[in-house]
């Protein structure tokens, strides 16, 4: 039976890869997208999420998320990584569908209560909506199947600063609340996503095999590939968000260690994920990955699309 998943997302180029993968893979039942700031503003994320689902022919709802972090002031969005409108150099696309009437936090709580024990929450942006959902209904910790976070870094260092990974850096207090709660969390951080890369040629292959969906990903990824040259010294891309979604259905592709984590919330190291010394629960931190298996599953799944 397919796994019910809600992806909390800030699309964003690698978010688009993750969302289309989730739409196409038969072992995932995508039951909703919730939008958040990070790569773009929340309003652009809400729009882009609807565009992705329309492209995939999916009628899954999109619930709009928070406009700002739960404590700190908003930080700048990563337009230099994903483009001003989140899809590289593509101009804004206006979707036909409207956002869901519920907020992201309300939608998450409603769906988790409707399907107790079945829903995997997969935040691939800042954890603001997840923290707000926890505040709205603390019992969701007993009802979610699990939480798979794309974010953080234990030994790999950061990508926004030397210490902090982008999703955690955008809302440190929210991330700390998610890591401190008593539920089943897996952290898919830079320790593994920096091992999973794709090349521009592989995306050309996606466009040839899947002109609509693969073609869209190839088009929006060119700007993202260029960013990687200056930031990481190679033309291509890290597969951050697709790796997180893939870990839900192929946990065997990843090696984890139990660690209790907290998040630095001020100073030079703000947003750094570090081992906690309070009595919070361990989470499963991904430290190893079969990068070839992750990459191959992503590529073959997108190629299966139209
Ligand atoms: O650090 C990488 C993460 O930040 C990815 O989720 C990317 O989409 C951005 O949100
Ligand atoms: Ca993201």
* pLDDT tens across the length of the chain (306 residues): 899 999 999 999 999 999 999 999 999 999 999 999 999 999 999 999 999 999 999 999 999 999 999 999 999 888 899 999 999 999 999 999 999 999 999 999 999 999 999 999 999 999 999 999 999 999 999 999 999 999 999 999 999 999 999 999 999 999 999 999 999 999 999 999 999 999 999 999 999 999 999 999 999 999 999 999 999 999 999 999 999 999 999 999 999 999 999 999 999 999 999 999 999 999 999 999 999 999 999 999 999 998
Domains (ranges, CATH) in the chain? 3-303 (3.90.245.10)
What is the radius of gyration, based on Cα positions, of the chain? 17
Using the mean position of ligand 2's atoms as its centre, give its distance from the Cα of residue 6 in Å.
14
**Whether residue 171 lies in the annotated active site:** no
List 10, 85, 191, 241, catalytic entry:
10
Instruction: State the DSSP code for 25.
Output: -
Using the mean position of ligand 2's atoms as its centre, give its distance from the Cα of residue 115 in Å.
25
* Other beta carbons within 10 Å of 197: 16
**Whether residue 85 lies in the annotated active site:** no
Distance CA 85, CA 79 (A): 7
Sequence-distant (6+) residues with CB within 8 A of 19 are: 7, 9, 11, 30, 33, 49, 52, 53, 56
Query: Whole-model pTM?
Result: 0.98
């Amino acid at each position: 039976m397919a796994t019910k998943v809600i992806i909390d997302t800030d699309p964003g180029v690698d978010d688009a890869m993750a969302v289309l993968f989730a739409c196409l893979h038969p072992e995932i039942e995508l039951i909703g997208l919730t939008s958040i700031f990070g790569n773009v503003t929340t309003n652009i994320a809400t729009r882009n999420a609807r565009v992705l689902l329309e492209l995939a022919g999916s009628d899954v709802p999109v619930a709009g998320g928070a406009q700002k972090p739960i404590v700190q002031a908003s930080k700048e969005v990563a337009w230099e990584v994903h483009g001003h409108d989140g899809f590289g150099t593509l101009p804004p696309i206006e979707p036909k569908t409207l956002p869901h009437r519920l907020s992201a936090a309300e939608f998450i709580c409603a769906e988790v209560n409707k399907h107790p024990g079945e829903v995997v929450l997969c935040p691939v942006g800042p954890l603001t909506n997840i923290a707000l959902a926890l505040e709205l209904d603390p019992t969701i910790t007993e009802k979610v199947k699990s939480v798979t976070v794309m974010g953080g870094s234990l030994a790999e260092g950061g990508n926004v600063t030397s210490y902090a990974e982008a999703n955690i850096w955008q809302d440190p207090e929210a991330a700390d609340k998610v890591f401190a709660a008593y539920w089943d969390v897996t952290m898919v951080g830079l320790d593994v996503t920096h091992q999973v890369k794709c090349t521009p040629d592989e995306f050309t292959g996606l466009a040839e095999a899947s002109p609509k969906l693969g073609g869209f990903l190839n088009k929006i990824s060119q700007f993202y590939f260029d960013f990687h040259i200056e930031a990481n010294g190679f033309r291509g891309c890290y597969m951050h968000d697709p790796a997180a979604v893939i870990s839900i259905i192929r946990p065997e592709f990843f090696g984890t260690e139990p660690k209790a984590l907290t998040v630095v919330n001020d100073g030079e190291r703000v947003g750094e994920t570090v081992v906690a010394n309070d009595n919070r629960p361990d989470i499963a931190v991904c430290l190893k990955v079969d990068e070839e298996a992750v990459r191959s599953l992503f590529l073959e799944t997108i190629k299966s699309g139209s």
